[in-house]
Amino acid sequence: MNFSLMTSIFLTFSIGFLLYTLLFTRRKEAGRPLPPGPRPWPIIGNLPQLGPKPHQSMAALARVHGPLMHLKMGFVHVVVAASASVAEQFLKVHDSNFLSRPPNSGAKHLAYNYQDLVFAPYGPRWRLLRKICALHLFSAKALDDFRHVRQEEVGILVRALAGAGKTPVELGQMLNICATNAISRVMLGKRVVSHGTDNGDINAEEFKAMVVEMMVLAGVFNLGDFITPLEGLDLQGVAAKMKNLHKRFDKFLSVILEEHKINNDNGSNGQTDLLSTLISLKDVDDGQGEKLTDTEIKALLLNLFSAGTDTTSSTVEWVIAELLRHPTILAQAQQEIDSKVGKDRLVTESDLAQLTFLQAIVKENFRLHPSTPLSLPRIAQESCEIYGYFIPKGSTLLVNVWAISRDPDVWADPLEFRPNRFLAGGERPNADVRGVDFEMIPFGAGRRICAGMSLGVRMVQLLTATLIHAFDFELANRHSAQNLNMDEAYGLTLQRAEPLLLDPKPRLAPHVYKALV
């Protein structure tokens, strides 16, 4: 049998299977009131309508079809929540039915085949990983114990910016170094990235590129995830890229893990970092027959590096961009910090509680530029009914966080950067970003809310406060801030389409910067 004949048979079989599945699915759903949505194309469904920025495309579709919308992506039912009330139904009222993730290539090829915290099915393994993070990394005590690490790394960032001279700096890159080393010192007991290769395990530019590539690949709507017969063909080349990237991350993480094991065995580590704790827990039964494996440890480290670095750096980059475009707001924030902290030292975490306007700025940025514009997908364990509409078992749920926080029915002038809305006398003075108020859920909500939310809020507030307190920034090449490009580049996280290139000008007493040398 020649190659062309085999190809013809395969294509005929595949098309026949696709058509059969499509027709069978239609018959099965006949008469059931699915949520409204755009008419799907044959076989591929609504995938072509998503475009390069799906969060924006879905928001536009929801304005036509309503805040509870049904899409057909290949053979997969997808329901999109695009309002606070609809999101609350899924993530609070019916949260127990949407606790696991749907099958996807990112979890399979990047996240150690679902053995991480982010994509693990809801159950004993997930609860074990969540418990470990909650106790050893994200509890109030753990955050306070490692406060000095974050402050030291922010001080190193200030020193680097102050020493830039007349050379423009790429702010996002330097923020990423700070966030990565702040979390790596807690996880591993050491810094892992630097501007060169002498003082870190990996080059900073290379590491950020790896994390950004992961977020971009994880945000791709891969045909094979929605049309199963096409999975092996990898028509978009996504799976191949994921496998290659996974090898690079796994090599990096494996070396770190083995070095830690050797140090622990020799008694030379003498540290209380997270990885040492994880290694010590490997042979400990959690009471339900669950023990940690090396693969789960590496998968968890991968989660923490990816979710705890890029999200922080990109969020702060958006804040600074907005403040440059709104000099009056920036001046008010600087005045508040100067009055509470003075100009003879840097901001500390203990100062943040007094900086109410700074907190409002960060909230407003979370609203306009949520780090994850589309929530990580969830899957319906059983069929259910939401607002009278039938949600079939196996449906994928996407919450359009970006659209919800720009809803004109909830927010006055939703596209305007207005921190005052979160102050006394504003429209939302008591708004909470921690999954309580569904009008703004940048970290998600329900039992699978972002595990690192408290750390994320602290780090974004500390970085933002320190940057605008320690420096006045000008755009490189004297570009006008009013013409600053605010376009988004879509991935799993919300990156700026154009990096922010700045000239930092120190504004504190000279001895503050000398003390950091």
* 333-353 tens-digit pLDDT: 999 999 999 999 999 999 999
Residue partners of 423: CB distance under 8 A and separation at least 6 = 356, 357, 360, 429
Contacts with 175 (C-beta within 8 Å, 6 or more apart), sequence order: 157, 312, 313, 316, 317, 463
Identify the weakest region by mean pLDDT among 11-25, 83-97, 462-476. Answer: 11-25
**Rounded to whole angstroms, how far apart are CA atoms 244 and 166?**
38
Report the pLDDT value the prediction gives residue 515, as an integer from 0 to 100. 80
Locate tokens 């085999």: which residue? 6
Residue 507, both tokens: 């504004």
Q: DSSP E strands: which ranges in 452-510?
A: 471-475, 488-490, 494-496, 501-506
Does the annotation flag 450 for ligand binding? yes
Q: Give percent of the chain above pLDDT 90.
A: 72
Q: What is the CATH code for 32-514?
A: 1.10.630.10
14 pLDDT higher than 60? no
Of the listed ranges 11-25, 75-89, 110-124, 268-282, the least confidently predicted one is 11-25
Rounded Cα gap, residues 345 and 186, in angstroms: 24
Starting at the edge strand that comes first in sequence, how are the strands of the sheet with 501-506 ordered?
169-170, 501-506, 471-475
CA distances from 4 to 18, 230, 234 (A): 21, 19, 20
The amino acid at 83: S
pLDDT of 26 over the 70 cut? no
pLDDT of 75 above 60: yes
pLDDT band at 290 (very low <50, low <70, confident <90, very high): low
Which residues, including other chains, have CB under 8 Å from residue 78's CB and lie 6 or more apart?
46, 70, 71, 72, 395, 396, 397, 398
**Is residue 389 over pLDDT 80?**
yes
At 495, give phi and psi (nearest 5°): -90, 160
pLDDT (tens digit, 9 = 90+) per residue, 147-159?
Answer: 999 999 999 999 9
Q: What are phi and psi of 61, to 5 degrees?
A: -65, -35
Q: Are 149 and 480 in contact (CB under 8 A)?
A: no
Helical ranges in 99-203 per DSSP H: 105-109, 124-136, 140-145, 147-162, 171-188
How many whole angstroms separate alpha carbon 182 and alpha carbon 157?
A: 11
Q: What is the mean pLDDT of the chain?
A: 89
More confident residue, 273 or 303: 303
83/96 Cα distance (integer angstroms) = 20
Distance, in Å, from the CA atom of 323 to the CA atom of 331, rounded to the nearest integer, reads 9
Collapsed DSSP state (helix, strand, coil) of residue 408: coil
Which pTM was predicted?
A: 0.91
User: In angstroms, rounded to a whole number, what is the distance separating the alpha carbons of residues 142 and 67?
Assistant: 39
Please give the structure tokens belonging to residue 195. 């501007």
Q: pLDDT digit string (tens) for 104-146?
A: 999 999 999 999 999 999 999 999 999 999 998 899 999 999 9
How confident is residue 164, by pLDDT bands cut at 50, 70 and 90?
A: confident
Report pLDDT digits (tens) over 354-384: 999 999 999 999 999 999 999 999 999 999 9
CB 217 within 8 A of CB 238: yes
Closest CA to 105 of 96, 115, 97, 114: 114
Q: What tokens does 305 get?
A: 């590096």
At 100 the three-state DSSP class reads strand
d(CA 404, CA 408): 9
Tokens 């702040």, located at residue:
182
